[in-house]
Structure 1
Amino acid sequence: SMDFIKNMITGTSQADCAVLIVAAGTGEFEAGISKNGQTREHALLAFTLGVKQLIVGVNKMDSTEPPYSENRFEEIKKEVSSYIKKIGYNPTAVAFVPISGWHGDNMLEPSTKMPWFKGWMVERKEGKAEGL
């Protein structure tokens, strides 16, 4: 809605960092990244408003096929990277984290359900940064 966009512009224009949440569920991610999808709109808005640092939370990892699928995470990471690169973000400087807000996976501490995720690493001018 326009109200949401207005509020987002107000809040985002003062932000140093944006967290883009994308849904990993089948069909859900595709809808968000499609031509008029919200994922695209929000990423573009953040960049346009000058937010330099982006973090991508790949949410609903519990609803992938099979649940907590590394392949699905990598597929989404690839898609989102190629889109945000077109906007102007450098994907190697963006942290991607697989999460499940509902179950709390990787929200506060590393999830046992995704042992394949060894933390994130980004490359910036100042050098490499990493975390869990």
Structure 2
Amino acid sequence: NMITGTSQADCAILIIAAGTGEFEAGISKDGQTREHCLLAFTLGVRQMIVAVNKMDTTKWSEDRFNEICKEVSNFIKKVGYNPKAVIMVPISGWHGDNMLEASTNMPWYNGWTKETKAGVTKGKTLIEAIDAIEPP
């Protein structure tokens, strides 16, 4: 279950739906997005990757991605995460965008930057974000 798996994890990968209403439901007071962030941090998971999924349903909207990133950053900071150390990448699982290769559908997306005590890491895709997970 969620708690057993999370208690042994080095990194949480939070998948957030970008669709109108979907993100808002998850980030609401009793939403699963909030619950899972809080649970991960409480159980000692100090690294997080946020994949903003279903970007195809937003017509690859830069504004929607930025809006979600801002709200998620504000929330995870309150939980205890350092937003500069949390990678946020826009993806479309349905189309494969930014999963393994950089997307041509989001030319506005210049990639992510992760800043930790170990240094600065940069990338564009979800797989590169996973490769950037620091060993415990």
Q: Indicate whether 1:116 and 2:118 are aligned.
A: no
Alpha-carbon distance, 1:130 to partner = 0.9
RMSD over equivalenced CA pairs, Å: 0.6
Q: Give the gaps of 5 or more residues in structure 1.
A: 1-6
Q: Which residue in 2 is equivalent to 1:4?
A: none
Runs of 4+ aligned structure 1 residues displaced above 4 Å come to: none
Which letter maps to 1:55?
I
Alpha-carbon distance, 1:118 to partner = 1.4
The whole-number CA distance in structure 2 between the counterparts of 1:14 and 1:99 is 26
* Percent identity (aligned): 75
Aligned length: 124
Q: List aligned pairs for 1:1-132, cutoff 5 A.
A: 7-64=1-58, 67-132=59-124
The whole-number CA distance in structure 2 between the counterparts of 1:94 and 1:21 is 13
Q: Give the gaps of 5 or more residues in structure 2.
A: 125-136
The whole-number CA distance in structure 1 between the counterparts of 2:60 and 2:96 is 13
The whole-number CA distance in structure 2 between the counterparts of 1:126 and 1:111 is 28
Which letter maps to 1:122?
K
The whole-number CA distance in structure 1 between the counterparts of 2:43 and 2:76 is 14
